[in-house]
C-alpha cells in the first residue's frame, strides 16, 4: 500500500479530541528525553556528521585565497573558516534544542512559523531594511551577520505542509478544499521570493509543499495540471527576465561565451576535468584562485571535484543518498504507528535535502542551468546551516519518538 493509502486507512477517525489526547500524553512522556547513544540512529547521524565536517574542511580550502586577497575580510586567510565554525556551532546547538521539542509542539507551531516566514520575506523587500547584494535583496542585517529568510522558509514549509496535509486529509481529493488553499499560500511565498529574486529557493519550497501533498493523497490529475501550469510559468519567467534567458543559453553552450554568460560554468567544468579520478589533492585547486566565483558557496562541489576527484564527488553523493533514504524510512516507520505529522515532516525534510542537493550538484556539473543554491550541510552560509541543522534535529526526534513508542506501546 502506498503512503496515501496508509494515511487514509488509519486516519479517518482523527479529530481534535484525539489530537489533544495524544499531545497531552506524549508531551509528558517525551518532552525531556534522556537518549542513550545506542538510540541515536547511526545511519542518519554519521552521514550528517561527515557532511558537516567535510563541508567545514572544504569551505576553508575553497575560501582561503579569496579571504586572503580581499580587503573586505581584512586579508585574513581564515575569515570564512572562523565564521563557518561559528555558524556550525550555532546550528548544532539549535539542532539539539529542536531535538528536545516534542513533535506535537512543532505541529502546534507550524502555522505560526509559516506566517512568520512570510513576514520575514516581506520585510526583506523593504528598502533600507533588506540587505542588497549583487542586485538581489535576500538578507536581513543582524549586526555582523545576515539572516536569509528564504532558507528558514524551507524549514517552515516542511512543517506547515505536513500539518496542513494532516488537517485536510479527508478532503485531499478535492481541488478546491484540499489543493487550492496550499497553492495560494505557496504562490504568496513564491511572489515574495521572485521579487528578491530567488528562483532557486522558490523551486525548493514549492517541491517540498506539493511533494508532501502528493504523499498525502492529492489527486494525480491535479499534479498533472500543476506540471503544465509550472511549465508555462517557467517559460513566461524566462521571457520576462533577460538574465534568466541568458543563463539558459549559457547553460546550453557555455563555451560559446566563456568570458561572459558561460564563465562560471566553464570554470566549474574545468575544475571537474582537472580532478580526474582522485583529485589534485586537498588545497591544490587552481580554480578557487579567483577563477571560479562563489567557490565556497554555490560551487563548492566543483572545488571538491578538483581536489578530491571523482571518488570524492561519488563519496559526497553517496552520503546524501543515504541521508535522504533514511529520512524517508524514518517517515514511513512513524506513519506505521499512526504518527502522521511526524512521518510527513521526516519525508518533507528528505525531499528538501534531496532536491536541493540534486539541483546544486546538477548546476556544478553542467546538467542544470546556473542557479544560486548552496550544497546542503556543506556550503558556507549561516542561515542555510541553521535551517539544515534544525531539520536534522527534528529527524532525530521523529526517529527517537518512534523507537520509544514502539517499545512502550501506544502513546
pTM of the model: 0.88
* Cβ-contact 60, 380 below 8 angstroms: no
**Residue 370: left if φ>0, alpha if ψ -120 to 50, beta else—which one?**
beta
Please report, in tens digits, the pLDDT of each residue of the chain (411 residues total).
Answer: 445 454 444 333 433 344 444 444 544 444 455 666 557 889 999 999 999 999 999 999 999 999 998 888 888 999 999 999 999 999 999 999 999 999 999 999 999 999 999 999 999 999 888 888 877 889 999 888 899 999 999 999 999 999 999 998 877 777 778 788 888 898 899 899 988 888 889 999 999 998 998 888 777 777 777 777 777 777 777 777 677 777 777 777 888 778 877 889 999 999 999 999 999 999 999 999 989 999 999 999 999 999 999 999 999 999 999 999 999 999 999 999 989 999 999 999 999 999 999 999 999 998 888 877 899 999 999 999 999 999 999 999 999 999 998 887 544
Beta partners for residue 141, in sequence order: 146
Q: Which of 332, 227, 228, 226 is nearest to 4 (CA)?
A: 332
Contacts (Cβ under 8 Å, ≥6 apart) of 29: 404, 408, 411
pLDDT value of residue 132: 83
Residue 40 located in a structural domain: no
In this predicted structure, what is the pLDDT of residue 322? 97
Q: What pLDDT was estimated at residue 321?
A: 97
C-alpha cell at 54: 567535510
* The three three-digit cell numbers of residue 65, written as one number: 585565497
In a domain, 36, yes or no: no
Residue 147, classed as helix, strand or coil, is: strand
Q: Where are the alpha helices (DSSP H) in 2-41?
A: 3-10, 16-30
Contact present, 106 and 162 (Cβ < 8 Å)? no
Q: Could you count the other beta carbons within 10 Å of the beta carbon of residue 259? A: 7
231 falls within a domain: yes
User: Rounded distance, CA 65 to CA 60, Å?
Assistant: 9
Q: Which domain holds residue 370?
A: 3-30+48-408
Cβ proximity of 237 and 272 under 8 Å: no
37 in a structural domain: no
Coil/strand/helix, residue 139: strand
Query: How many structural domains does the chain have?
Result: 1
Residue 290, helix vs strand vs coil:
coil
Q: What is the pLDDT of residue 168?
A: 86
The grid coordinates of residue 152 equal: 528558514
Query: Concatenated DSSP letters for 301-353?
Result: HHHHHHHHHHHHHHHHHHHHHHHHHHHHHHHHHHHHTT-HHHHHHHHHHHHHH
**pLDDT for res 390:** 97
Say if CB 202 and CB 193 are below 8 A apart. yes
Instruction: Give the neighbor-by-neighbor strand order of the sheet with 131-133.
Output: 131-133, 136-142, 145-147
Amino acid at each position: 500500500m502506498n503512503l496515501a493509502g496508509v494515511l487514509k486507512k488509519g486516519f479517518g477517525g482523527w479529530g481534535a479530541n484525539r489530537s489533544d489526547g495524544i499531545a497531552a500524553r506524549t508531551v509528558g512522556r517525551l518532552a525531556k528525553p534522556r537518549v542513550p547513544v545506542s538510540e541515536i540512529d547511526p545511519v542518519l547521524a554519521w552521514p550528517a556528521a561527515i557532511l558537516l565536517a567535510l563541508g567545514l574542511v572544504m569551505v576553508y580550502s575553497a575560501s582561503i585565497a579569496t579571504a586572503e586577497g580581499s580587503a573586505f575580510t581584512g586579508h585574513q586567510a581564515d575569515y570564512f573558516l572562523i565564521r563557518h565554525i561559528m555558524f556550525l556551532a550555532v546550528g548544532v546547538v539549535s539542532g539539539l534544542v529542536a531535538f528536545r521539542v516534542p513533535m506535537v509542539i512543532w505541529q502546534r507551531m507550524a502555522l505560526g512559523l509559516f506566517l512568520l516566514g512570510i513576514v520575514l520575506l516581506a520585510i526583506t523587500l523593504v528598502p533600507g531594511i533588506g540587505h542588497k547584494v549583487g542586485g538581489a535583496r535576500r538578507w536581513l542585517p543582524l549586526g555582523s551577520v545576515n539572516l536569509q529568510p528564504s532558507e528558514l522558509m524551507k524549514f517552515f514549509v516542511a512543517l506547515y505542509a505536513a500539518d496542513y496535509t494532516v488537517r485536510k486529509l479527508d478532503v485531499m481529493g478535492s481541488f478546491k478544499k484540499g489543493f487550492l488553499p496550499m497553492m495560494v499560500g505557496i504562490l504568496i511565498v513564491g511572489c515574495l521570493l521572485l521579487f528578491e529574486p530567488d528562483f532557486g529557493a522558490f523551486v525548493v519550497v514549492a517541491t517540498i509543499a506539493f511533494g508532501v501533498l502528493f504523499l498525502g493523497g492529492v489527486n494525480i490529475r491535479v499534479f498533472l495540471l500543476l506540471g503544465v501550469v509550472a511549465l508555462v510559468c517557467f517559460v513566461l519567467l524566462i521571457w520576462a527576465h533577460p538574465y534568466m534567458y541568458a543563463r539558459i543559453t549559457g547553460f546550453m553552450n557555455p563555451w560559446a561565451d566563456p568570458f561572459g554568460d558561460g564563465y562560471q560554468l566553464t570554470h566549474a567544468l574545468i575544475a571537474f576535468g582537472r580532478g580526474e579520478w582522485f583529485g589534485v589533492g586537498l588545497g591544490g585547486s587552481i580554480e578557487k584562485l579567483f577563477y571560479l566565483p562563489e567557490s565556497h558557496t554555490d560551487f563548492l562541489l566543483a572545488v571538491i571535484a578538483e581536489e578530491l576527484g571523482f571518488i570524492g564527488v561519488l563519496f559526497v553523493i553517496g552520503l546524501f543518498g543515504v541521508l535522504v533514504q533514511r529520512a524517508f524510512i524514518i517517515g514511513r516507520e512513524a506513519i506505521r504507528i499512526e504518527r502522521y505529522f511526524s512521518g510527513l515532516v521526516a519525508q518533507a525534510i528528505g525531499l528538501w535535502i534531496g532536491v536541493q542537493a540534486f539541483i546544486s550538484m546538477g548546476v556544478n556539473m553542467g546538467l542544470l542551468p546556473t542557479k544560486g543554491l548552496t550544497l546542503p550541510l556543506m556550503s558556507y552560509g549561516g542561515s542555510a546551516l541553521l535551517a539544515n541543522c534544525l531539520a536534522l534535529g527534528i529527524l532525530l526526534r521523529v526517529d527517537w519518538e518512534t523507537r520509544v513508542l514502539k517499545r512502550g506501546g501506544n502513546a
